Amino acid sequence: MCFRRANPIPSWIPQIGMKFSTLDEACKFWEYYGGQIGFSVRKRYSNPSKFDGKITSCRYVCSKEGHRVADKRDHSTKQSRAETRTDYQVRIGLTIDRETGNYDIFDLVLEHNHMLHLKETCHLMPSQRKISEVQAFEIEMADDSGIGPKAAHELASRHVGGSCNLSYTR
């Protein structure tokens, strides 16, 4: 006897046609997906409506998407920063359904062209760093007590069993 799953794709993998009630919900979903796969995310653009100011479409991408614009500030720079963008095309495009007010995925590319982060290091990526309210309070308390950032980070790391278990960096 053979059992078939109704939906073989996990719910955390984006699919065309998925719906979100807000852009914040869609952004958090994309950040979660990036953390599960191993890449950092950013917002590429958003288009507000001229009439009511509501965002009508937007695109979230991998942080390595595209190419860096040439720096026009200083021509005497001898050692420029390393190129971090790899023309990575992973993206999710959202558009609003005016009837329901939901945001639908209309454009989706999930193919990777660079090395992904290991699960153990995903919390170090900029889009995955999260400080809870309790952690923020502890940081503020340490600062008010005269404890420096390095010592406060060391204390928080010991509290949770090492810096690898902490959801933010020093």
What pLDDT band is residue 143 in, cutting at 50, 70 and 90? confident
Percentage of the chain modeled with pLDDT above 70: 66
Could you tell me which residues are beta bridge partners of residue 62? 41
What pTM was computed for the model? 0.65
Give the separation between CA 93 and CA 111, rounded to whole angstroms: 15
Give the separation between CA 71 and CA 83, rounded to whole angstroms: 12
Model pLDDT for residues 96-106, shown as the tens digit of each residue: 998 998 999 99
What pLDDT score does 4 carry?
44
Model pLDDT for residues 1-24, shown as the tens digit of each residue: 444 445 567 788 898 999 999 999
Using CA atoms in the order 66, 54, 11, 38, what is the torsion angle rounded to 10 degrees?
30
Model pLDDT for residues 79-98, shown as the tens digit of each residue: 666 656 556 678 889 999 98
